[in-house]
Amino acid sequence: MYIDTISAISTGMGEGGIGIVRLTGPQALPILHNIFRTPGGKRKTRFESHRLYYGQIVSGGDTGELLDEVMAVYLAPPRTYTREDMVELNCHGGIVPLERVLNLTLQQGARLAEPGEFTLRAFLNGRIDLAQAEAVQDIVRSKTGPGLEQALGQLAGNLSRRIANIRQGLLSSLAHLEAMIDFPEDDVPPASVSAQLYETMAELEKLLATADAGIIYRQGIRAAIVGVPNVGKSSLLNALLRADRAIVTPIAGTTRDVIEETVNLRGVPVVLVDTAGITATEDVVEALGIERSRQALSSADLLLLVLDGSRQLEAGDLELIEAVGGELARESGKKACVILNKSDLAPRLTGPDEIKRYLPDLPVVSLSARTGERLDELEETLARLALGGQNVATHSVMVTNERHRRALAQAAEHLQAAILSGEAGLPADFISIDLRLAMENLGEITGESVQDSLLKEIFENFCIGK
């Protein structure tokens, strides 16, 4: 347990119905005694745990200034978020009352919490492991239902239990090896160790295989909408957002800058980047917008090449087709889709077969951004591209964190080395070294083996008050 008490505003700053000032540490309850008064202005000497009390926050003792009317709750350990004494003051939601109440708690001896310090204390006090602590931030930042579902499952310990099972398999193998080393006369059969290592590797690889899709559900991807002027890029953005976010006119070159908006495509958070039409121009402002469009094309994970299907391909279209093909060749992980817009216009002069001559491996969707015709097909195609074509059951346990993926990959490398050592007939000591390293890698995920520098890196990205 810590000897100091921390305090912070735990709700978002701004106007709202309720804002919460939260304290944890040994002085949380004494501070509450000092600043809380009943509606009649009297001190309250006893607070039952986990019970709300209506009253006032005052400064300067019994005759002090009224700062706010609140609902206060005292939480006694161990049934608290941090497993320490905690106090939460439900104030009126507004910057001024919250800051005044917070400053009063600091004057009473608390210190301002550092980012993520409440959750860090929950981890260090053993209430949650490190993977569960990271899930708290994922819940706050989740953008789609599947992303939230995965974060909630991780907070409940689903991933931690899978990691624990894999570590248990490694530990069991290590125990066999230690027996072979310490008691060679017992003739422990090495075959039993080898079979167990293969089983553990299969479980590890199965979990690691979920990482690509899991990280996308958590972080999302960037999709750049590119094309020559007046092919309907902004109309497509508005159609996918179901809102008039970008200005649409019949005049070519309306979009002069990059516009970014996030959309939920079948549970995948996608940042759509609407770009200026890429063409030759002498207009200085338009040229700046086109340069940003080229930068967006290079930095995006997914390229949406929009063509006007109601006319023949022109020189500008062919240049963009070549540029998209070049990007895909340079970046093996980048994906793309061709969209033939304006299917509501006749005649259709450019079709999927013609596009396949230039980009044979890309999906082609014909649609009308204006009417919404076949927009569902495009959304399904984009979600499938984002997930690498996988049919993912989002209710299953997935790896959603790049740090976790790296640790699992390192554990798999050490486990593979152990298997190869066993197949080569090397002594058990060599195999056990790699097994211990693999266990250490897995321990980095749940926190059994973690350095202070890593904790600092993880929690400094949290909100203050969380």
- pLDDT-derived band at 247 (thresholds 50, 70, 90) equals very low
> DSSP alpha helices (H): ranges in 189-337?
190-208, 211-219, 233-241, 284-299, 315-330
What is the pLDDT of the chain when averaged over all its residues?
A: 86
The pLDDT of residue 292 is above 50: yes
Point out the domain boundary residue: 127, 146, 166.
127
* Structure tokens given for 274: 């609407």
Q: Look at residue 114 and tell me if it is in a domain.
A: yes
Residues 306, 377: one domain?
Answer: yes
Residues 330, 368: one domain?
Answer: yes
Residues 76, 196: one domain?
Answer: no
Residues 254, 302: one domain?
Answer: yes
Residues 242, 201: one domain?
Answer: no
Residues 85, 230: one domain?
Answer: no
Residues 17, 46: one domain?
Answer: yes
More confident residue, 244 or 178: 178
The pLDDT of residue 31 is above 60: yes
Residues 239, 356: one domain?
Answer: yes
Q: Look at residue 324 and tell me if it is in a domain.
A: yes
Which one-letter amino acid corresponds to residue 87?
V
- pLDDT-derived band at 291 (thresholds 50, 70, 90) equals low
Residues 238, 308: one domain?
Answer: yes
Q: Look at residue 239 and tell me if it is in a domain.
A: yes
Residues 72, 181: one domain?
Answer: no
Residues 200, 223: one domain?
Answer: no
Reported as a single tens digit per residue, the pLDDT across 98-156 is 999 999 999 999 999 999 999 999 999 999 999 999 999 999 988 888 899 999 999 99
CATH number at residue 321: 3.40.50.300
Site of tokens 């093909």? 325
More confident residue, 285 or 142: 142
Query: What integer is the mean pLDDT of 81-108?
Result: 95
Q: Look at residue 318 and tell me if it is in a domain.
A: yes
Range in 177-191, 306-320, 410-424 the model is least confident about: 177-191
Q: Look at residue 92 and tell me if it is in a domain.
A: yes
Point out the domain boundary residue: 339, 360, 386.
386
- pLDDT-derived band at 287 (thresholds 50, 70, 90) equals very low
The pLDDT of residue 199 is above 50: yes
Query: What integer is the mean pLDDT of 427-431?
Result: 85
Q: Look at residue 64 and tell me if it is in a domain.
A: yes
The pLDDT of residue 281 is above 60: no
CATH number at residue 65: 3.30.1360.120
> Distance (Å, rounded) from C-alpha 116 to C-alpha 278?
44
Q: Look at residue 444 and tell me if it is in a domain.
A: yes
The pLDDT of residue 422 is above 50: yes
Point out the domain boundary residue: 348, 365, 386.
386
Query: Of 253-262, 339-348, 401-410, which one has max mean pLDDT?
Result: 401-410
Residues 241, 119: one domain?
Answer: no
pLDDT score, position 248: 45
Q: Look at residue 465 and tell me if it is in a domain.
A: no
The pLDDT of residue 255 is above 70: no
* Structure tokens given for 202: 């299969």
Query: What integer is the mean pLDDT of 290-302?
Result: 70
Report how many domains make up the chain.
3
- pLDDT-derived band at 293 (thresholds 50, 70, 90) equals low
Is the N-terminal amide bond of 77 cis, ω within 30° of 0? no
CATH number at residue 155: 1.20.120.430
For residue 255, give its domain range.
219-386
